[in-house]
Amino acid sequence: MGHAVEKLHDRLMEISRVDDDGVYRYGAEKRSQRSELVKTSLKALWQEASAEVDFDLPESGVGLAAVGSLARGQMGPNSDLDLVLMVEDRALKQEQLARFADRLWYPLWDSGLDLDHSVRTRSQCESVTDHDLPAAMGWLDVTAIAGDTALIEGTASSILERWRKAARKRLPELTESATARLRQFGRLPYINQPDIKEARGGLRDSTLIASLAASWLSDRPHGQYDAALERLLDVRDCIHLASKKDTNLLLPQYQPQVAGMLGLADPTLPKDEREALSIDDLQTLLASLGRRIAFALDSTTSRAQHSLTHERPRFAFFQGKREAPRFDVIAPGIAKHEQTVVLAPGVSPVSDQYLPLRVAVAAAEFGLPIANSTLINLSKSPIRDSVWDDSSRRLFIRLLACSEELTRVWEEIDYVDIPGRWIPEWLGVRNRPSASAAHRYTIDRHMVEVTSRLGERSPGGVLYDEEHYQALLLAGILHDIGKRPGVADHAEEGARHVPVILRRMGYADAVVEMATVLVREHLTLSDYASGKDPHDPDVLASLAAHVRGDTTLLDMLFDLTKADGSSLGATSTEAITKRYGWSKWRENLVSTMYSAAKAYMLDR
């Protein structure tokens, strides 16, 4: 029994092999070959099972369907099989159906493949897809394998028709599913150990895009989007090969091998240096792919929502004239349109270098997303990193002070590379993974997260004046700017970059000096708290010297330390959280050292 699928997993691995130099090439072709091999094997298995049962299998009323990656022709080396045995009522007795199903499922389990299977009638399939969004999206990609293919194709057509009829009502459900995944898994470009399927910009988003296109609410993107999707599938395949299982989680232990299979490693470099650089390149690749796919999803969703808004002509009351689109001006050259931030009519970005900054501040302060078309237009703005005025410096501080909205808006403008044009040094850490086990996020995303936690005039209860508050926010956004390849002391390296950056932007000398001290010392308070006695006057005198005996600078260092530690996004294991993360225990240690040092300084 099951000769058709005997050693099927081994045959899939043979297709999946890497070249002699260890690089995985021709991924799309290999995915197609794996999919065709599995389909052919399943057809043969169907024939075997039909011949082995002790009853005549009817020619109609029973069929085998595939959904998921097999149906899409995207089988990975270790992808599971998602199969549905379709049956019409009374086509088989229940005991006959059970025996026949066993003849299909058991050989597949024995072959070493993971199997997700179900037995459904047409009405059951329609009922499930009417109420289960993932099931509905799965059935939009279905292929008939064997048996009564007309039954399967008819069911698929019926589900597609029902999907199109209900798409307008289900669009909010679909967009909410994307939002829920974003909250749980984050954005692919900014996660050190991403789930490349579930993270925003991952493979699941491509399924949503296909579902929207199938609804006829929006067209499907092509070109660069297709290339990005195929390359991300290459990454998925390499994760399967490195992990030897069906997983989409790019854990640290897989990253060097995955990078090597993708051709990102330089074989001429020493092993440690080769692995470190290739992991950086891997993160950069994922960031590029994730941005492209996420932008495609946002654009497709926006077009679908726009089609619903405008599917009936809007007419002015009594006059019978079509209304013009409504633009509510919320800042100079910037308007709100259909709950997004857009450029006001007639505004051109090509002659205004400060327009992207004004748009970012407006989007953050009004809590609205920037329209995708506006982002593309903003990329045409003639930004110069050395040309800042008082107004633009104040706007930059307002943006940094926007708390949690800063994170969202910074990610939006980062898609079109605007932060790196404001601060070229930003590109040295953009998308770079952190070597620390405590960090969930990439270095650049972590710095934005830290700054968002400083987005109040008195984050730790101390009300700062304008200069001190500016210095604190600027130190937050730049505190890890020194984390570059080959740098042993990133705090000292960062302190070397900060005055260059801030003087180029034109900030006051006092602000530059305070921000430089904070970046240089951003680990000092935590280090002192972890290994020194807060009751030792010599320890307190030494700590005071690090902040030049300035109690306000100590307050700022305390706030920066808390924001830095509490925003690491450490993994959920208690051991790592205790060792690296901002636990209550560590917070108490830092607070005790801070209070002792401040009391010591006030007594002097």
SS3 221: coil
**CATH 1.10.3210 spans which residues of the chain?**
423-604
* Dmax (CA) of the chain: 97
Q: How many separate helices (H) and strands (E) can be counted in the chain?
A: 25, 7
Which H helix or E strand runs over 445? helix 443-452
Q: How far is CA 285 from CA 190, 200, 236, 275, 277, in A?
A: 12, 15, 13, 15, 12
Cα–Cα dist 92/80, whole Å: 27
405 neighbors 365 (Cβ within 8 angstroms):
yes
Q: How far is CA 171 from CA 176, 204, 271, in A?
A: 8, 16, 49
Say which residues have a Cβ less than 8 Å from residue 104's Cβ, sequence separation at least 6: 45, 46, 49, 64, 83, 85, 117
The segments of the chain whose pLDDT lies below 50 read 313-318, 570-580
pLDDT in tens, 340-391: 999 999 999 999 999 999 999 999 999 999 998 899 999 999 999 999 999 9
* Distance separating alpha carbons of residues 115 and 131, to the nearest angstrom: 23
Helices 203-214 and 224-243 meet at what angle, rounded to 10? 140
Delimiting residues of CATH 3.30.460.10 domain(s) in the chain: 3-167
What are the CA-CA distances from residue 235 to residues 23, 25, 264 (Å)? 12, 11, 12
CA distance 3 to 44: 9
> Among 37, 35, 40, 44, which residue's Cα sits nearest to residue 3?
44
**pTM, rounded to two decimals:** 0.81
Look-up of token digits 């898609």: 415
Closest Cα partner for 490 from 525, 453, 560, 443? Answer: 443
**Contact, 515 vs 502, CB < 8 A?**
yes
Contact 226, 289 (CB under 8 A): no
Tokens for 401, please give them.
Answer: 């002070």
Strands 142-147 and 62-67: antiparallel
Residue 529's pLDDT is what? 93
- The confidence score (pLDDT) of residue 200 equals 93
Q: Distance (Å, rounded) from C-alpha 48 to C-alpha 6?
A: 12
Q: Under a CB-based contact definition with an 8 Å cutoff, are residues 104 and 87 in contact?
A: no
The CATH code for residues 3-167 is 3.30.460.10
Spatial distance between the Cα atoms of 567 and 565, rounded to a whole number of angstroms: 6
Is residue 196 a contact partner of residue 236, using CB atoms and an 8 Å limit? Answer: yes
d(CA 234, CA 230): 6
Which pLDDT value is given to residue 546? 96
The CA distance from 108 to 117, in Å, is 11
The residues, ordered by sequence, that sit 6+ positions from 180 with a Cβ below 8 Å of its Cβ are: none
- Share of residues in the chain with pLDDT > 70 (%): 91
List, edge to edge, every strand of the sheet that includes 328-331. Answer: 328-331, 334-337, 340-343
Question: What pLDDT, on a 0 to 100 scale, did the predictor assign at position 562?
Answer: 92
pLDDT for the residue numbered 360: 97
What is the third-level CATH fold of 423-604? Hypothetical protein af1432 (1.10.3210)
Could you tell me which residues come within 8 angstroms of residue 318 by beta carbon, excluding any fewer than 6 positions away? Answer: none
Quote the pLDDT of residue 460.
Answer: 65
Residue burial 106-124, b: 16+ Cβ < 10 Å; e: rest? ebbeebebeeebbbbbbee
Residues 550-573, buried b or exposed e (16+ Cβ, 10 A)? ebebbbbbbbbbbbbbbbbbbbee
Q: Output the six-digit token pair for 504.
A: 């180029």
Phi, psi of 116 (to 5 degrees): -115, 110
| Residue in 47, 152, 142 with CA at minimum distance from that of residue 104 | 47
Which SS3 state, helix, strand or coil, does residue 142 take? Answer: strand
- Amino acid (1-letter code) at residue 235: V
Residue 310: predicted pLDDT: 55
The C-alpha atoms of residue 356 and residue 359 are separated, in whole angstroms, by 5
The two structure tokens encoding residue 493? 């390296």
Backbone angles phi, psi at 336, to 5 degrees: -105, 130
CA distances from 190 to 14, 243, 314 (A): 34, 22, 41
* Contact call for residues 115 and 80 (beta carbons, < 8 A): yes
